[in-house]
């Protein structure tokens, strides 16, 4: 882990890339955090609109931000690729639209990447609770976006990651048609191609926790992404996953994660949310498998 700010000379140029859809709920958090970065080197911020309908792209332009458009596909990965193609920085810094960056986010991220000599670097995603007693929010904070644990396995989420632009030339861009999980899948492809991944705990962005409804929507989206990224996500594998979702979930990993984060770890509090999340993932997997099977069965269609 690298956490001391020490920038090389000359200071690398950075392009921040943030895809968004209907950004209005997060404007007051995201935009000021990006505008107040203390990075002393050349930097550029690219916000990539992915078919917003709430007027937020114009609000961003009026605030002085560069807004690109990704209209060809409703996909955060397609939007990130638009940003990558338009980026000029030596280093690309990715953040999600519902996050807020610490003022020294860029400085610490670039410093850590340069000191480590790595090809890409995962930063720390800290959760901000709306209801700190909610088991839904505690489960998300304990189980998701743990870039430290992910980096140890050669993985990173794009809520907070710094990538040398040249690495995309070696590995390729994100696979645009993926619904979820392509950031982790791309990381694995990069590591398999010989890239080195580092982690910095002081390169911080803040992410709001999701309530029950939002968590279930995310689980459905993750289930759709499982169709592309997990072995056995076809035919019999789909049926097995659906059957398992109706069985009581395994509580051990979640309880250990909760204890590790200092949250209450009682089975009665989490069995309901975990079971519902499992069912929603299975529903997303079935939905995506059915859509792809239908498309591939059409004479002129192809697997999306």
Asked if residue 41 has pLDDT above 90, the reply is yes
Question: Looking at residues 232-247, what average pLDDT do you find?
Answer: 69
C-alpha span between 173 and 213 (Å, rounded): 32
pLDDT tens by residue, 196-212: 999 999 999 999 999 98
Give ranges for CATH 3.90.550.10 in the chain.
14-208
Check residue 235 and give its pLDDT. Answer: 64
Asked if residue 93 has pLDDT above 90, the reply is yes
pLDDT tens by residue, 249-278: 889 989 999 998 888 888 888 999 989 999
Q: Mean pLDDT, the chain, as a whole number?
A: 90
Expressed in angstroms, the distance from the first to the final Cα of the chain is 39
Check residue 302 and give its pLDDT. Answer: 47
**Residue 143's pLDDT band (boundaries 50, 70, 90)?**
confident
Lowest mean pLDDT among 114-118, 141-145, 209-213, 239-243: 239-243
Check residue 232 and give its pLDDT. Answer: 43
- Give pTM, 2 decimals: 0.87
Residues 6+ positions from 260 with CB-CB distance below 8 Å: 142
pLDDT tens by residue, 29-40: 999 999 999 999
C-alpha span between 60 and 259 (Å, rounded): 40
Which has more confidence, 117 or 229?
117
Helix 252-261 and helix 267-297, axial crossing angle in degrees, nearest 10: 120
Beta-sheet pairing, 120-128 with 91-95: unpaired
**Residue 139's pLDDT band (boundaries 50, 70, 90)?**
very high
Residues 6+ positions from 291 with CB-CB distance below 8 Å: 304
Lowest mean pLDDT among 64-68, 98-102, 219-223, 299-303: 299-303
Check residue 165 and give its pLDDT. Answer: 98
Lowest mean pLDDT among 13-17, 183-187, 231-235: 231-235
Check residue 231 and give its pLDDT. Answer: 42
The three-class DSSP label of residue 93 is: strand
- Partners of residue 14 on adjacent β-strands: 43, 91
> Which CATH entry fits the domain spanning 14-208: 3.40.50.10470, 3.90.550.10, 3.40.47.10, 3.40.50.1820?
3.90.550.10
Q: For residue 173, how many C-alpha atoms fall within 13 Å in the half-sphere facing its CB? A: 16
**Residue 3's pLDDT band (boundaries 50, 70, 90)?**
low
């Amino acid at each position: 882990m690298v956490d001391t700010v020490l920038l090389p000379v000359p200071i690398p140029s950075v392009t921040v890339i943030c895809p968004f859809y209907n950004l209005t709920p997060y404007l007051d958090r995201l935009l000021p955090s990006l505008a107040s970065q203390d990075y002393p080197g050349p930097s550029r911020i690219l916000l990539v609109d992915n078919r917003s309908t709430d007027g937020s792209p114009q609000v961003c332009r009026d605030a002085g931000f560069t807004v690109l458009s990704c209209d060809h596909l409703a996909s955060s990965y397609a939007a990130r690729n638009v940003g990558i193609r338009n980026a000029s920085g030596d280093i690309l810094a990715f953040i999600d639209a519902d996050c807020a960056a610490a003022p020294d986010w860029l400085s610490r991220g670039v410093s850590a990447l340069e000191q480590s000599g790595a090809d890409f670097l995962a930063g720390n995603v800290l959760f901000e609770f709306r209801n700190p007693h909610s088991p839904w929010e505690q489960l998300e904070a304990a189980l998701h976006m743990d870039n430290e644990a992910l980096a140890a396995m050669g993985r990173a989420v794009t809520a907070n990651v710094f990538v040398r632009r040249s690495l995309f030339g070696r590995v390729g861009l994100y696979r645009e048609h993926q619904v979820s999980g392509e950031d982790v899948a791309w990381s694995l492809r990069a590591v398999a191609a010989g890239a080195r991944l580092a982690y910095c705990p002081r390169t911080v962005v803040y992410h709001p926790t999701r309530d029950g409804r939002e968590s279930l929507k995310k689980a459905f989206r993750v289930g759709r992404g499982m169709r592309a990224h997990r072995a056995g996500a076809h035919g019999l594998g789909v049926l097995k996953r659906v059957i398992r979702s109706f069985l009581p979930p395994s509580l051990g990993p979640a309880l250990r994660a909760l204890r590790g984060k200092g949250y209450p770890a009682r089975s009665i509090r989490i069995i309901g949310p975990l079971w519902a999340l499992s069912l929603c993932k299975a529903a997303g997997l079935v939905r995506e498998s059915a859509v792809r099977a239908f498309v591939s069965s059409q004479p002129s269609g192809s697997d999306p």
